[in-house]
C-alpha cells in the first residue's frame, strides 16, 4: 500500500482539539490544496474563508447543526460556491476533500460539516458572505492529542459492482 492510500485509510474526523495554534503558512497550504481540486469544466466556483477568531468560531458553532465542536477548533474553513454554477456543491466538496487530506498530511486534524445552518442569514452576516456565494460546507481544523477511533465502514465488496448491478 502506498503512502497516499495509507493517508486516506488513517484519516479520521477530529472533533477534539488542543489550543496549539496553526501557523498561517500551514493554513494557506491546506487551502491551496483545495484550490487545486478538479471542478466541472474547470470553473473553480469556490471561495474559501478562513476563520480563526475565537468569537466567530463560537458563533459558527452555535449556528451550524452538528458543528458544536467548531468552537474548540483553531480554525474553520468556510467553503462557498458561486450561486448559479450548476455543479458548485460537488466541486466545493472535491476541494474540501483535498483540504482534509492535506491537513492530515501536515498533522492537522479536520472535520467536514455540511452547511446545515440554523440561522443562514445570521451566519452570512457574521462572516460578510457576499450575496453571489452560497455556504456549501465547513471544515474545522486543529491539532489533536489522540486520533479518534475509526467508524465502521462498509466493506469493499458491499459497495463495488462490476459491469452491471
- The pLDDT score that the predictor gives to residue 120 is 81
Decide if 100 contacts 139 (C-beta within 8 A). yes
Query: Quick one: cell of 105?
Result: 498530511
The model carries a pTM of: 0.94
Q: Sheet containing 133-142: give its strands across.
A: 46-51, 75-82, 133-142, 109-114
Question: From first to last of its 165 residues, what are the pLDDT tens digits of the chain?
Answer: 999 999 999 999 999 999 999 999 999 999 999 999 999 999 999 999 999 999 999 999 999 989 999 999 999 999 999 999 999 999 999 999 999 999 999 999 999 999 777 778 889 999 999 999 999 999 999 999 988 988 999 999 999 999 999
Residue pair 54/107 in contact (Cβ under 8 Å)? The answer is no
Query: What pLDDT is attached to residue 147?
Result: 86
Residue 14: per-residue pLDDT: 97
Q: What is the CATH number of domain 3-147?
A: 3.40.109.10
Distance CA(17)–CA(85), nearest Å, equals 35
Tell whether the torsion through CA atoms of 128, 131, 133 and 136 is positive or negative: positive
Q: Where are the beta strands (DSSP E) in the chain?
A: 46-51, 75-82, 109-114, 133-142
What does the pLDDT read at residue 21? 97
Q: How far apart are the C-alpha atoms of 140 and 68, rounded to whole Å?
A: 10
Q: Report pLDDT for 65.
A: 86
Give the model's pLDDT for residue 115. Answer: 74
User: Closest Cα to residue 96, out of 120, 109, 113?
Assistant: 113
Amino acid at each position: 500500500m502506498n503512502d497516499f492510500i495509507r493517508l486516506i485509510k488513517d484519516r479520521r474526523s477530529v472533533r477534539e482539539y488542543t489550543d496549539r495554534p496553526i501557523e498561517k503558512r500551514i493554513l494557506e497550504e491546506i487551502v491551496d490544496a483545495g484550490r487545486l481540486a478538479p471542478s466541472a469544466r474547470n470553473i473553480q466556483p469556490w471561495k474559501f474563508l478562513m476563520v480563526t477568531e475565537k468569537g466567530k468560531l463560537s458563533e459558527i458553532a452555535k449556528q451550524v447543526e452538528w458543528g458544536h465542536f467548531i468552537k474548540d477548533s483553531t480554525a474553520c474553513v468556510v467553503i462557498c460556491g458561486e450561486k448559479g454554477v450548476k455543479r458548485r456543491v460537488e466541486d466545493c466538496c472535491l476541494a474540501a476533500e483535498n483540504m482534509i487530506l492535506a491537513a492530515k498530511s501536515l498533522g492537522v486534524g479536520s472535520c467536514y460539516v455540511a452547511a446545515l445552518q440554523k440561522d443562514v442569514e445570521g451566519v452570512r452576516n457574521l462572516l460578510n458572505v457576499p450575496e453571489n456565494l452560497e455556504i456549501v460546507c465547513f471544515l474545522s481544523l486543529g491539532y489533536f492529542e489522540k486520533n479518534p477511533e475509526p467508524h465502521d465502514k462498509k466493506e469493499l465488496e458491499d459497495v463495488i459492482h462490476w459491469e452491471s448491478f
